[in-house]
Amino acid sequence: MSSPTVEIPARGGDITSVQPITTETRKPLSKKEISADHPTWCPGCGDFSVLALYFKLIEKRKMWHEKITTIAGIGCSSRFPYFVQAHGAHYIHGRALPFASGISLSRPDLHVFVFGGDGDAFSIGGNHFNHTARKNIRMTYVVMDNWVYGLTKKQTSPTSPLGFKSKTDVTGAVDYPINPMKQAIAAGATFVARTTHSNPAHVMQMMEAAMDHDGFSFVECLSECVEFYEGAFDASNPRKGGVFNLVPADHDVTNEMAAYKLADEGFPGRFGIFYKVNKPTKNAKEIALNKGAMEKVNGLKDWQILQKTFDRMK
Ligand SMILES: Cc1ncc(C[n+]2csc(CCOP(=O)(O)OP(=O)(O)O)c2C)c(N)n1
Ligand code: SF4
Ligand SMILES: [Mg+2]
């Protein structure tokens, strides 16, 4: 049986173009072809759900090994790339975004996905988060927020609520937590969404919308740490007596103030796309700069340009 003709979304084609669109006639990758080591997470960890949905996304959207890259920093959640049979890296704590930026800018044909935790994203990597967002570099960043440092066995994280008892705050957290949604919008992210591991269909919907966005897309995914913060998200889970409230249907995703207002609602808050605007990406700007520079040298090869520079120095 011949395989169906499939549309490769935005990324997936020629490396010199920002919006390559090609058609491919290949079978989608199966879960077996995408999964690597068996995840070492604790049984019941919310991160399993995100990984399973990433596999589904790759299969559903017919992405190929050579057209995706999976990057992470350090943490339980950041072990993610170990479990994916694809190109990727488990990089330095808090430095996943600059590493992914280099990949995205040099290979605009790739779908760049970054996964990590709240500590990796907002503590040690906080600076990079702000700058990658403001530069609008094309990638999808999914932060698996469990409100705690899991890998290092229960320290207060930047999203831990006041009063949370941990090894670093034995009598309860005293520092005000950050609000990832507000921070992402303020930093300049052009796609900002919120979801939770306990609603797989919604996680999938948000990851799909994020990967289709032409720019820096950020998804905060609540992901329970059953070992060090059990029950943290029960109030957002109808199966645990909580409520799962979507972003209202009439919310204008291009309205920054309306997005802040949604982000300001107390926990469990809203789930869905809070903010989405179209702005030129750094990828597009760099391609234009490179094209202009190449036109000036009349299409000479790199070594010829170098030779000319040496000749001028003589
Ligand atoms: C430079 C550096 N500082 C500190 C650590 C120790 N460390 C490893 S993971 C981590 C926190 C991870 O928390 P988070 O990103 O929330 O991931 P989780 O384990 O909760 O998924 C810390 C402090 C490190 N590996 N490298
Ligand atoms: S310690 Fe927490 S975050 Fe880490 S694998 Fe276990 S449940 Fe998941
Ligand atoms: Mg964490």
Ligand 1 nearest-atom number relative to CA 121: 15
pLDDT (tens digit per residue) in 61-84: 999 899 999 999 999 999 999 999
Ligand 2 centroid – CA 300 distance (Å): 53
Mean pLDDT per 10-residue interval, the chain, length 314 residues: 37 50 69 91 98 96 92 98 94 98 94 98 98 98 98 98 98 98 98 98 98 97 98 98 98 98 98 98 93 84 89 92
Is residue 117 lining ligand 1, measured as CB closer than 6 Å? yes
Ligand closest in space to the Cα of 40: 2
Task: Specify the 3-state DSSP secondary structure of 99.
Answer: helix
Ligand closest in space to the Cα of 123: 1
Distance of CA 267 to the CA centre of its chain: 22
Ligand 1 nearest-atom number relative to CA 78: 21
At 198 the pLDDT is 98
Distance of CA 212 to the CA centre of its chain: 12
User: In the structure encoding, which two tokens stand for residue 64, read together?
Assistant: 């190929």
- Amino acid 237 reads N
Say how many Å lie between the first and final Cα of the chain, rounded. 65
Task: Specify the 3-state DSSP secondary structure of 245.
Answer: strand
CA–CA separation, 200 and 51 (whole Å): 11
CA–CA separation, 175 and 232 (whole Å): 18
Is residue 215 lining ligand 1, measured as CB closer than 6 Å? no
Indicate which residue's Cα is closest to atom 11 of ligand 1.
149
Mutate to test the pocket of ligand 2, among 226, 230, 233 (most ligand atoms within 8 A of CB): 226
At 302 the pLDDT is 84
Indicate which residue's Cα is closest to atom 6 of ligand 2.
42
CA–CA separation, 241 and 90 (whole Å): 36
pTM: 0.91
At 15 the pLDDT is 52
Ligand closest in space to the Cα of 75: 1
Ligand 1 centroid – CA 127 distance (Å): 15
Determine phi and psi for 185, rounding to 5 degrees.
Answer: -65, -45
Query: Rounded to whole angstroms, what are the CA distances from 30 to 35, 39, 59, 113, 296?
Result: 9, 17, 6, 19, 46
User: In the structure encoding, which two tokens stand for residue 129, read together?
Assistant: 């988060």
Place of tokens 């995408």: 34
Place of tokens 């939770």: 196
Determine phi and psi for 61, rounding to 5 degrees.
Answer: -90, 10
Indicate which residue's Cα is closest to atom 2 of ligand 2.
225
Orientation angle between helical segments 180-187 and 256-263, nearest 10 degrees: 160
pLDDT (tens digit per residue) in 23-33: 467 888 888 99
Ligand 1 nearest-atom number relative to CA 223: 21
Is residue 125 lining ligand 1, measured as CB closer than 6 Å? no
Indicate which residue's Cα is closest to atom 25 of ligand 1.
93
Indicate which residue's Cα is closest to atom 7 of ligand 1.
152
